[in-house]
Chains A and B, each alone.
Chain A
């Protein structure tokens, strides 16, 4: 149900190790809960962020929600396409709908995140 190569947070962000960089987005579960996304506010390029810091905002027809950084690091790239095409998050949350990339990541913090099976169990506990 959720891609195996990602780490997940309880706030429904995902993060993918791409060698020198880490890519961050929001999960298909978050997208399903939010409904059609109408606006994405991206983090500032070059900012240093800590784990759990509010770095982006996503607005849908239902609600506006904060997006938190899953780990500490340095924002080295943001997905500018989302500003004009927020629907990419709905269409492809793990691909073209990515939010930002981090480098200088605190790798030890990755161990605090969930793998796909643990995240799936966490979602099941929320659905009860």
Chain B
């Protein structure tokens, strides 16, 4: 398929610009560019066909089953898009809220922010929420900056953050950017946090403990409350990474487990678009210890309506305006649509579906850990190494069967890992079709491994040279 730049023909136009009807101004020469912009010159029809063709090659949750572990690629109900497209939301100028005289013009949007913050606080067991962070990792950074502000304010001299070895790589990265040194805590053989190692690492210097619960092994940390008590005994704060909230939403609240601060991934748990189709949103919830430091402005409710206020000890803005507001609108619609019972059913079915996949595949792909899982299961492709077939080959071969690959080679603690998260929105028929495909591939891997090595053969491009793409990264279309 051609790039849009390759379709370009000099002089072709897709738009006609109206004649100038305001006085002409000539900016000083040094402010003007003196080379061509090099935009593709194409007609409207060229553009429509190009992007329609591209969209047909897309592999997404609207076209295929997408069990990408730890990413919660659930279906995004279309009604949420319709609500977010309402002109009262979509065409609102973000600066209306910056000018006190116009605050009355955006009361509906402020009410939505206020109520969504309250709903998320209730779901997380937190006291206050900010919607500003625009991604999960951005939420982590906001959370670690709040933790730093808390300790600085109390004149606590703390420089360490404890992170389990099963954590997402963004956890240590966020802690490091907020100025902390990261100490990795190993997992025990059963896949949960090694409590002895944790006890040894927990000193007065520890500012926070960052946990994902259930963790990336798909297991609930059974000792999470004791871990929180031990951390609080040295005034270390507990950070809850919300990546796996889908496993417990509506049933158990991080705040009740002893967490002080958490982020929510609206694009995971609350069904807003995910990945490059985003944008995402990573609201942060805190208990009263951290509430004074939240980014401003905060929406407050008064007798005259919704107003804005700036917390005195705020860490400052961490995103423009109120974050990705239209994502918040979708999440609000989702939560209101499901209600409390609906959210309980989400986690129940997410866990049920993952265990169904685990029980059908466990005799072919050994699970990394014993027992049941939560919302995702971690299997291993190690038995197929003797035939020269790796987890990556299963990932590629699944594409030919019409399924997106699960996450492979993560968590790092499991060899040849296949991390499967089906989510609650898939039917038993889809789960069976996926498991049948996996079992068929397991047979091929033993009997005719070359089939897996050749995959994928049905996709627009075959096996990509990922190594060369990483070593010789070049995203610029040549002149």
Residues of chain A having any CB pair with chain B under 8 Å: 36, 38-39, 59, 61-64, 86-87
Contacts and interface: CB of A to CB of B under 8 A. Distances in A.
A39 B409 contact: no
What range describes how many residues of B lie at the interface?
Answer: under 10
B164 to A, nearest CB: 16
Contact of A64 (B169, B467, B471): B169
Given A62-B409, A63-B409, A63-B412, A38 B470 contact: yes
Given A61-B466, A64-B169, A86 B409 contact: no
B409 A36 contact: no
A38 B409 CA distance: 16
A86 B315 CA distance: 41
A61 B169 contact: no
Interface of B: 169, 409, 412, 466-467, 470-471
A126 to B, nearest CB: 9
A87 B470 CA distance: 12
A86 B470 CA distance: 11
B473 to A, nearest CB: 9
A39 B412 contact: no
Nearest to B184: A66
Contacts of A59: 470
Which of A36, A59, A64, A86 has the largest count of B CB atoms less than 10 A from its CB?
A36
B471 A38 contact: yes
A43 B466 CA distance: 26
A86 B409 CA distance: 21
18 contacts: A36-B466, A36-B467, A36-B470, A38-B467, A38-B470, A38-B471, A39-B470, A39-B471, A59-B470, A61-B466, A61-B467, A61-B470, A62-B409, A63-B409, A63-B412, A64-B169, A86-B471, A87-B471
A41 to B, nearest CB: 14
A39 B470 CA distance: 8
A91 to B, nearest CB: 13
Contacts of A38: 467, 470-471
Contacts of A62: 409
Contacts of A36: 466-467, 470
Contacts of B470: 36, 38-39, 59, 61
Contacts of B412: 63
A86 B468 CA distance: 11
B176 to A, nearest CB: 11
A36 B412 CA distance: 16
Given A64-B169, A86-B471, 10 more contacts: A36-B466, A36-B467, A36-B470, A38-B467, A39-B471, A59-B470, A61-B466, A61-B467, A62-B409, A63-B412
A86 B412 CA distance: 21
Contacts of A61: 466-467, 470
Contacts of B169: 64
Contacts of B409: 62-63
Nearest to A90: B467
A75 B470 CA distance: 28
B169 to A, nearest CB: 7
B104 to A, nearest CB: 51
Contacts of A63: 409, 412
Contacts of A64: 169
A62 B412 CA distance: 9
A62 B169 CA distance: 12
Greatest chain A CB density within 10 A among B169, B409, B466, B467 is at B467
Contacts of B467: 36, 38, 61
**By CB atoms of chain A within 10 A, which of B169, B409, B470 has the most?**
B470
Nearest to A127: B415
B392 to A, nearest CB: 9
A87 B467 CA distance: 10
A63 B412 CA distance: 8
